Amino acid sequence: MRTSAVWYPFTQHALEPAMRRVARTEGAYLIDEDGAPILDAISSWWVVTHGHRHPAIMEAVRLATETHDQVIFAEYTHAPAEELASGLIDIAPKGLAHVFYSDSGSTAVEVALKMALGFFHNLGRPRNRICVLEHGYHGDTIGTMSAGERGVFNAPYAPLLFAVDRLPFPEAGREQATLDAFEAACASGAVAALLIEPLLLGAGGMKTYPASVLSELKRIAERHGSLLIADEVMTGWGRTGSLFACEQAGITPDILCTSKGLTGGALPLAATLSTAEIFEAHLSSDRRKTFFHSSSYTANPIACAAALANLTVWKEEPVRERIDALSERQRRHAAHYAEDRRFSDVRQLGTIAALDLKVPEGGYLAEVGPRLRAFFRERRLLIRPLGNVIYLMPPYCVTEAELTQAFGAIDEAASLIAAGRL
């Protein structure tokens, strides 16, 4: 057996089989070292939107390498970053005016938290509370772990994490409890911001809630002078059916975080967009009000070039039509299982479908999870259930036949588990 010095993410090395190597990628597929195609039904952790190695994005990357590598993003700037910032402001919810670059979804949210706290600090009326939804997940840095659901993900690091105010998830029929809890928290006058995944909680179990709840949360925040941070790292770039999920609620967040699909999945890049008001609170002849945040690879020119090409793909190709078609396919497939007793809470939002497999013990560490992954692996499918929560989030180039193949495997796995044979 081949050994590796690599420490892989979200992997228990004492239990997992040896990693298969991917030799190349193409469209909706990973091609492994033996030439076997594996359908990437989760877009390689939700990053690949149009499909692997989209020609226009790959060409933009090649061209960028002819003129740039990393450029310090202080004292100097470059065209890819400037043009991308303008392009993002053009397509983002109206009212967002400034773009701060970073490297990943986690850092985009970390930046947003610092912006929110710095905003009130610089105005001379500091607020120090952050509100979040229970079951949320925002990343693996200290700030984002603090804001995420406490549990197996972050238990060893509890001494480092700061407290946040957790609002109950707006379960169907109990949405008012969420709104009331946020109203009560804001009444203290200490809430700087509500950090929220709009419409869909990703790693927290693909849990969905109505756009009307998000709209009302924004109204409550405005009434109390608090900010709303939209973590659109996963929900952005068409995943929920619209370019950004916030559009469906008719709101403009004070701060919006984006990553994953920003480059079409080609290269790591993140951006945190803010209103002019937040930027101007950091604009001063007093250098102590500077926004003190950066990373060595901020606004990498090659990654920015990939993101610029992604914007062009959205403008020049029928991306929205592909999203609409995929959303309709997901709706039809999910509807087939709506009354299936093997599953519960069958749901679909835009290009995402999810269903909870009924097992004696659910949750992220449900024992059925590794067995499901192994089964899907044998069927040449990349599907990584969140415990007993099975979901599909494929790239937009996926075909009806490929989606049928994935749902067929889910159906087969559920039958085998029900019969005690998996």
Q: What is the pLDDT of residues 353-401, one digit of tens each?
A: 999 999 999 999 999 999 999 999 999 999 999 999 999 999 999 999 9
Domain count along the chain: 2
Report yes or no: 41 and 394 within 8 Å, Cβ to Cβ: yes
Looking at the structure, tell me whether residues 285 and 396 fall in a common domain.
no
Q: How far is residue 113's CA from residue 50's CA, in Å, rounded to a whole number?
A: 30
pLDDT at 182 over 70: yes
Mean pLDDT value across residues 223-249? 98
Q: How far is residue 317's CA from residue 257's CA, in Å, rounded to a whole number?
A: 24
Q: What is the pLDDT confidence band of residue 2, given thresholds at 50, 70 and 90?
A: low
pLDDT at 1 over 60: no
Q: What is the pTM of this model?
A: 0.97
Burial of 295 (0-12, 13-18, 19+ CB in 10 A): middle
pLDDT at 69 over 70: yes
CATH number at residue 398: 3.90.1150.10
Q: Which residues contact 186 (CB under 8 A, 6 or more apart)?
A: 131, 220, 221, 223, 224, 226
Looking at the structure, tell me whether residues 273 and 351 fall in a common domain.
no
Looking at the structure, tell me whether residues 310 and 330 fall in a common domain.
no
Give the residue carrying structure tokens 């029900």: 418
Choose the final residue of a domain: 316, 336, 363: 316
The boundaries of the domain holding residue 152 are: 58-316
Looking at the structure, tell me whether residues 312 and 183 fall in a common domain.
yes
Looking at the structure, tell me whether residues 302 and 247 fall in a common domain.
yes
Looking at the structure, tell me whether residues 332 and 262 fall in a common domain.
no
Give the pairing type, strands 37-40 and 29-32. antiparallel
* Residue 48 lies inside a defined structural domain of this protein: no
Looking at the structure, tell me whether residues 345 and 241 fall in a common domain.
no
Looking at the structure, tell me whether residues 90 and 216 fall in a common domain.
yes
Q: Which residues contact 419 (CB under 8 A, 6 or more apart)?
A: none
Report yes or no: 170 and 198 within 8 Å, Cβ to Cβ: no
* H or E stretch covering 38: strand 37-40
**Which of 84, 151, 134 lies closest to 298 in space, CA to CA?**
84
